[in-house]
Amino acid sequence: MVNIEETKRQKKWSAKVKTGCWTCKQRRVKCDERKPSCGNCQKVGRQCQGYPTRDTAQPERHAQQLRALAPAPGSTQVPIQYAQIKAMEDVQVLYSIMPQVLASPSSSKNSWSMRSSMRTTTAVYLAFLPSRAGQSAVMDAAVRCLAAAVRLYYTKSRLGESADEQDQGLILGPYNHALKCLRQALKDPKESVSAETLCAAELLCCFESFYSDGTDEAQARHLIGIEEVIKHRKPIRFTSEFDLQLIQSQLGYSVFKAFFTSASSFLNQDEWVPVLEMIGSLAPPLKLLMDYFILSAPVLEVLKQTTDLMSSKDTSSAESLETRSRLLGDLTKSANAFIKWYWDVIDLIYQYIGGASVESDRHNLSKRRRTVCQVSQFFGTCQTVIVIGNRLHAVLGGEDAYPLEIATQETATRLVYAYNLDGDDMTNPTIFELSVMKAIISTRDDWHTYASPRHGQQSIDVFPKDIFFRWLTAMGVSYPPLTEA
């Protein structure tokens, strides 16, 4: 029988090295603690380093602990500053609340608003804020301002209440401070071209969408300022992904502001095309969007120049007719390029969703539109550019004005009908699309009367100014005062 007591494992002996000379402690052997030199050290021929005293042992341990906590020489680790901690708290508020605000159901199912659109575009660059917290006073102030507004908006929304004057006062303080910081940054040669300053301007614009007294006009003023900052930075400074996402979030506002004010978009300039192409390289959906802006901009530029031509004193002069001929050539080139790209993309989309033939289904866009590319509203915005080109073709004296006008009216009728159908919120049209399509319908009698006798032939006579400007007015496009003939 096995004796358990005899087979019990014995603990191996090990030296106690809490006391003794420094040499024995390092060798982890028992020291005989002879003074002034240890006997063990003398036996093996080692130099005894002496004994630690009560006064020196404890500070040494503390020094070792501090050295372990401190960054190593040459390390990139830096202490976190208080300002950075406070800035991170504000960023965390945006990270926690903004997704819930964006996911909340729309109060009006079939409408577009500047407020909701601005909140959505802010999400494009939100992910870049944590790494920059505490590094820029102007951006930190803007983040703090927006965080206060978002927190108040979310709290009141959950309670079903509206913010009162006292609540509004709490967020106006941070807003005024952020606005002051932005003005100071814009006066500084270095700060005025920084990505953080541009981001601050965009965050303050978003603030207006949460402030109860904020108006579309206030946001529009911010948008104009943002565009000026973008142009001031010049294309050469838009290189990082943060830079590109900041400008990407503003493209729609800039392009369509130019459309509604009869102005040229700076993005139509050749120097900005590489920036748009870099944005498109970030993701396939952005590639589609950037191609849209690059190819539609020349068509909208022809509209702007045609408006200038029609505003001139004598549209029948030799100079005006020469300008009209040049614009018709520009329109033909740019519109054909846009239409070719559009149908190439549609072919790919239809193949992706099941191999349907586009050629056999071109007249059912209103149905397809409700299931394809709903978020980007791709079909409607592209069709909007196409119908603008069709009408400009008639204004500039192009051939086949009548069949193009018939196709334009059919497209507008189908899409406006689709807007009124009960369905997914994602099918909501953009304000650009909605304004143009409704204007096509409201002015169809004028255009039909003009185009019907010009079937299959080029128009030599000058297009009537009253018909053209009624169309612009119906779209909500402003234009310069007409010069009296």
Q: How does 10-26 read in b/e, with b if 16+ C-beta sit within 10 Å? A: eeeeeeeeeebbebbbe
Is 34 part of any domain? no
Is 263 part of any domain? no
CA distances (Å), 266 to each of 231, 273, 400, in order? 8, 10, 32
Report the domain count for the chain.
2
Is 405 part of any domain? yes
**Comparing C-alpha atoms, which of 211, 200, 76, 80 is closest to residue 144?**
200
Q: Which of 191, 214, 233 is the last residue of a domain?
A: 233
Cβ atoms 474, 443 nearer than 8 A: yes
Could you tell me which residues come within 8 angstroms of residue 111 by beta carbon, excluding any fewer than 6 positions away? 428
Q: Cα(9)–Cα(73) distance, rounded to whole angstroms?
A: 48
Q: Which domain holds residue 327?
A: 295-484
Is 326 part of any domain? yes
Full-prediction pTM beyond 0.95? no
Assess whether 340 and 469 both reside in one domain: yes
Is 38 part of any domain? no
Residue 265's identity, in one-letter code, is S
Is 246 part of any domain? no
Assess whether 95 and 171 both reside in one domain: yes
**pLDDT computed for residue 62 by the predictor:** 42
**pLDDT computed for residue 352 by the predictor:** 66
Assess whether 403 and 313 both reside in one domain: yes
Q: Cα(172)–Cα(135) distance, rounded to whole angstroms?
A: 23
Mean pLDDT in order along the chain per 10 residues (485 residues): 43 54 79 81 79 52 42 50 67 81 57 65 84 89 91 79 70 91 95 95 88 67 91 95 93 89 89 95 89 95 96 90 95 97 86 52 36 55 95 92 93 84 56 92 93 70 91 93 63
Task: Kindly report the length of the chain.
Answer: 485
Half-sphere exposure of 478 (CA within 13 A, CB side): 6
Q: Which of 210, 233, 256 is the last residue of a domain?
A: 233
Instruction: For the chain, count helices (H), then strands (E).
Output: 21, 0
**pLDDT computed for residue 357 by the predictor:** 45
Half-sphere exposure of 20 (CA within 13 A, CB side): 20
Assess whether 90 and 217 both reside in one domain: yes
Is 248 part of any domain? no
**pLDDT computed for residue 361 by the predictor:** 39
**pLDDT computed for residue 213 by the predictor:** 58
Assess whether 196 and 327 both reside in one domain: no
Assess whether 306 and 440 both reside in one domain: yes
**Comparing C-alpha atoms, which of 71, 437, 132, 483 is closest to residue 308?**
483
Is 299 part of any domain? yes
Q: Which of 217, 233, 249 is the last residue of a domain?
A: 233
